[in-house]
Chain A
Amino acid sequence: DQQVKQNSPSLSVQEGRISILNCDYTNSMFDYFLWYKKYPAEGPTFLISISSIKDKNEDGRFTVFLNKSAKHLSLHIVPSQPGDSAVYFCAATNFGNEKLTFGTGTRLTIIP
């Protein structure tokens, strides 16, 4: 039972355009969501997060949007840069839970 789903295994975007990565979840107990970025041969690194009390969180070129009614979140990267080419994992948890539930990842390729 996949509680966090990233239905697009890959995405290609032209440099300078907007990249939109999507994530859906099924567990209504989740109230905190994170995005991780992973380069080849490296561990995932934390990128940005959002609490369920918000519907948007912004950090530089990265913005995460949360639609609780649809159980959907998205990561927007604008403008996209070649260094953004990586695998992006969505993860979810709830307050006090020591574990994260990860999606299967989306490989983003930025085309110069």
Chain B
Amino acid sequence: NAGVTQTPKFRILKIGQSMTLQCAQDMNHNYMYWYRQDPGMGLKLIYYSVGAGITDKGEVPNGYNVSRSTTEDFPLRLELAAPSQTSVYFCASSDTNQGYNEQFFGPGTRLTVL
């Protein structure tokens, strides 16, 4: 049971480039999330999904896109990278059956846009 996995661990992009951050979970969780963490700040929700085919915006969605074609995978797409998107990105998942939302996090992707 690998939990939540993220690839890549590190990436450097040039302004205007695009990339996809991969996230997968093997816990059969319905809910999945993408957060970003800037230095000295908390976790800001970018997008989330309550099940395959269903996604919704979080607090800071601009500049990002997501899709959820399977329960396991929740990729995050950056279309035109900007320096403001330099951050550490965390994917998380949770099980809706509990009523309360205890989330399990991946190890993160550190992205630098130059």
Contacts and interface: CB of A to CB of B under 8 A. Distances in A.
Interface of A: 4, 9, 32, 34, 36, 41-46, 49, 51, 89, 93, 95-100, 102-105
Contacts of B104: 46
A98 B96 contact: yes
Interface of B: 4, 31, 33, 40-43, 45, 48, 50, 58, 90, 92, 94, 96, 99-108
B58 A99 contact: yes
- Which 7 A-B residue pairings sit nearest by Cβ, starting from the closest? A43-B105, A102-B42, A104-B42, A102-B43, A32-B100, A44-B105, A43-B107
Interface centre among B45, B102, B108 (most CB of A within 10 A): B102
A29 to B, nearest CB: 14
Interface centre among B42, B104, B106 (most CB of A within 10 A): B42
A42 B102 contact: no
Nearest to A107: B40
17 contacts: A43-B106, A46-B102, A49-B102, A51-B100, A89-B43, A95-B99, A95-B100, A97-B101, A98-B31, A98-B96, A98-B101, A99-B45, A99-B48, A100-B101, A102-B43, A104-B41, A104-B42
